[in-house]
Structure 1
Amino acid sequence: MSNVFLKIVLATLVFMASFGGYSQKRMKIPPYLKKGDKVALVCTARKFFPEDAQPAIELLKSWGLEVKLGKTIGLDSCQLGGTDKERAADFQEMLDDESIKAIWCARGGYGTVRIIDSLDFTKFKKHPKWIMGFSDVTVLHSHLNTLGIASLHSIMPFTVPKAPEEVKETLRKALFGEKLKYVVEAKGYELQGKAKGQLVGGNLSILYSLLGSKSSLDTKDKILFIEDLDEYLYHIDRMMQNLKRNGYLEHLKGLIVGGMTDMHDNEIPFGQNEVGIITEIAKHYNIPVCFYFPAGHVKDNRTLVLGKEVEFEVNQSEIILEFKN
C-alpha cells in the first residue's frame, strides 16, 4: 500500500471521526426568514378550515410575513383535510414553489404517513425551506432528517389560539434565525450529565410506527427528543422496549422527554409511571435524561430546531438546552 493511499485513508477517517461518521453529517439549515417572505398553510393530516386559520394568519402578518392558504385548507374528507391525493398534491405544490419560504402544517391527528411516499423531495433538497409542526408532523421531521435537512418542531395553526405569547416568540426566533436557549427547573428525578449532538425526534408513537421504514431516524451520537399524548403506560413501555431492541438508544448522547400528557393506566396498574418506565431503560446508557421538558402536547410547547447541533445539560437544579449557530 503506497504512502499516498495511506494518507488519503487516514485523512478520510479523521474527517469522518470529526463529524461522528455518517450519522453526524452536517445538516442543511433552510434559509432563515425575513420580512416579506411567504409562508404556506396546508393540511397533511386532520381537516382545518379558513375561519380557524385567522389567528395563525394574523400572527404571521404581525411578524411581517405573507401567507398563502393551501388548497387543502377547508377540504373535508371524514377526519382528513382532503383525500390522500389532494393532500399530497397540495404539499408538493408548496415544496416546489420557490416563492414559499416555509410550510406550516395546520394540525396533527393522523394522516401524514399516508402521503409521505407520494412526495418528491428532489427540488426541495436543492432549495430547502422550513417545515413546521408537531405531533403527526413527526413523520415529516423524521423523513427530512434522513435527507439531511433541519425542520421545526413547533406549535401549529390549530394550537395558536391557546399558545402563550412566549411560546409564539420561540417560533418567531427560530424562523428568523435568532438565538434559542432554554433553561428550565429540574424536577429532581432526572439523570444528570452533559452532551453535545444533533437534536432529533418528535412524537414517540410516530417514531415507533416509522421503525423499519425509509423514514426511520438514525439516532447514533445524537440527542433524542420524545413526547406523547393519550397513551396507556404499558404501551409507553412497549414502544421504549422496541426502540431499545432496534438500537435507537444504543449510541445516544442524551434523551429529552417532553410532555407525556394524559397518560392512562389499566384497571390492574402497570406498576410504573412514564418516568419510571423510561428511567429503567435509559439508566443503562449513562446519558443525561430529563423529563417534562416544555415541548409537545402541552401549553408551553417551545420550538425545537430538529437537526441542529445543541448543548444539553442536566444538573441538580437546571435543565439547559442551547442551540448552536
Structure 2
Amino acid sequence: MVAAAGTFDLPEDDARGAHHPRSLRVPPLLTVGARLAMISPSGPLQGPHELELAVATAESLGWKVQVGQHALRRTGYFAGDDAQRGDDLLAALHDDTIDGIWCLRGGYGAARLLPRLSVELLQRYPKALIGYSDITALHAAWQQAGLVSYHGPTARAPLSDFSRDSLVRALQHGTDSCGAAPEARVVRGGRATGRLVGGNLALVSSLCGTPWAVDFHDAIVVLEDIGEATYRIDRMLTQLRLAGAFEGCAGVAFGQFTDCPDTTDDGTRTIEAIVTELADALHVPTLQGLPFGHISDQWTVPFGASATLDADARTLSVSTVSMSQFHQTHQRARI
C-alpha cells in the first residue's frame, strides 16, 4: 500500500500568484506495489508492442498496471476520440485503487480534455501524473490544483539508466531527481529559488490566455520543445512576454530543443541568440541545455516542488525537505 496524499503550507512569497494555491499537495510516493493507470490522453500508440514495453517497464519498477480501456484506440491523430480519452483519464482519477497515472505517449490532444477537469476534482483525487511533451496540458491542470506532478518519460519509451535513476528518485524515494548539468550553457548567472512550472513551450504558449495558463510568478520556468523552427520558438517566447507571463519569474531553465532548425529562406537565428535575448530582458538566472525534453536521458522534474537554480554552478536542485517531512511523518503514523 502507498501513503495518502499530504498537504503542507507554501511560504508567503510563493502564494502571491492569482492561480497559485497556498498549500502544495504531494501525491503519495509510488513505492513497490503501487498501482498505476496507463492511459493515452493524446496521440495513438504505434501498436500493442509499445503497450507491452510500457507495462514491462512499470513492472520492472515494482508497480502494478491497469491499462486504460481505450489506450490502443486510434481516431485520426488521437488515441480515440475526446470522450474515450477523457473517460480513461476520469476513470483513473476516480478509482481509489489507482495511485498514479503514467501517460503512454504525447503527440497532441491532452488540452482537449481540460474542459472535463476542475481544480476541485483533482484536489479530491490527488494522483501522481507522469509524462511530458503534450502532457504539459495536464501538468498545467495539476499545477492549478496545487498538486505536484512529474515531467518525465512517457511509458512507451525505452527507459535509459539515466532516466530510470531520476524517475526512481522522484517517484519512489522523494529525493532530488535533478542535479548537476555540466554541459549546460550559462546564459545569465545567478541563483534563484522558486517552484518548478512549465513544460513544452508550444503547449505552455497555447494555454496563455486560457483558464489553464501556467503561472510563472515566483517560479523557475522549465521549457523544452521539438520540431519547431527557431523563428517559431522566438514567436512563442515573444507571445508569453507580451502577455506578461514572465513578469515576476525567478529564473528560467531551458531543456533541449530537439530538431529545431535555425535557418530559413529569409535568414538564420540561433536558439542561443533567442534564449540570450530573453534572459537579458528578464534579468533572471538562466541555463540552457539541461537534460529534459525529447531526449533519451532525461530528468524527471517535479512540477510544483521548490527548487534552486544555480546558473553559475550549472545545477538545478529540488528541495525535498517539505515533501520528505510529510512522507516521514506518514510512515511514522503507519507504524
TM-score (norm 1): 0.89
CA distance in 2, matches of 1:77, 1:152: 27
Q: Which runs of 5+ in 2 are unaligned?
A: 1-9, 321-335
The reply to whether residue 73 of structure 1 matches residue 71 of structure 2 is: yes
Structure-2 change in CA distance of 1:201 and 1:18 (3 Å): closer
Question: Match for 1:97: what amino acid?
Answer: D
User: 1:228 is matched with which residue?
Assistant: 225
Query: Aligned runs of 1:1-325 on 2, under 5 Å?
Result: 17-22=12-17, 23=20, 25-48=22-45, 49-120=47-118, 122-159=120-157, 161=158, 163-180=159-176, 181-264=178-261, 265-270=263-268, 272-315=269-312, 318-325=313-320
Shift, 1:225, TM fit: 0.4
Deviations 1:225-278 (A, max 9, x none): 0001111111111111111111121211100000111112312214x2111112
Shift, 1:284, TM fit: 2.4
Q: Look up the SS of the partner of 2:136 in the other structure.
A: helix
Moved more, 60-69 or 207-216: 60-69
Deviations 1:164-223 (A, max 9, x none): 112122112211133114111154542111011100000000011001101101111110
Structure-2 change in CA distance of 1:237 and 1:143 (3 Å): same
Q: Which runs of 5+ in 1 are unaligned?
A: 1-14
Question: Match for 2:108: what amino acid?
Answer: Y
- 1:152–1:304 CA contact under 8 A, matched in 2: yes
CA distance in 1, matches of 2:154, 2:53: 11
- 1:95–1:121 CA contact under 8 A, matched in 2: no
What's the RMSD between the two structures over aligned residues? 1.8
- 1:223–1:256 CA contact under 8 A, matched in 2: yes
CA distance in 2, matches of 1:170, 1:148: 22
Q: Look up the SS of the partner of 2:299 in the other structure.
A: coil
- 1:201–1:207 CA contact under 8 A, matched in 2: yes
Q: Look up the SS of the partner of 2:257 in the other structure.
A: strand
Q: Look up the SS of the partner of 2:188 in the other structure.
A: coil
User: 1:9 is matched with which residue?
Assistant: none
CA distance in 2, matches of 1:43, 1:262: 24
CA distance in 2, matches of 1:122, 1:18: 24
CA distance in 1, matches of 2:138, 2:23: 19
Moved more, 19-28 or 210-219: 19-28
Deviations 1:282-312 (A, max 9, x none): 2122211011110001122210000000011
Moved more, 208-217 or 23-32: 23-32
Q: Look up the SS of the partner of 2:87 in the other structure.
A: helix
Q: Alignment identity in percent?
A: 28
Question: Match for 1:229: what amino acid?
Answer: I
Structure-2 change in CA distance of 1:37 and 1:240 (3 Å): same
CA distance in 2, matches of 1:20, 1:148: 11
Shift, 1:124, TM fit: 3.1
- 1:221–1:253 CA contact under 8 A, matched in 2: yes
Q: Look up the SS of the partner of 1:201 in the other structure.
A: strand
Deviations 1:8-47 (A, max 9, x none): xxxxxxx974545244733211111222110010010111
CA distance in 2, matches of 1:187, 1:215: 30
- 1:24–1:221 CA contact under 8 A, matched in 2: no
TM-score (norm 2): 0.87
Moved more, 294-303 or 181-190: 181-190
Instruction: From the CA coordinates, give the structure whose radius of gyration is larger.
Output: 1
Q: What number of residue pairs does the alignment pair up?
A: 306
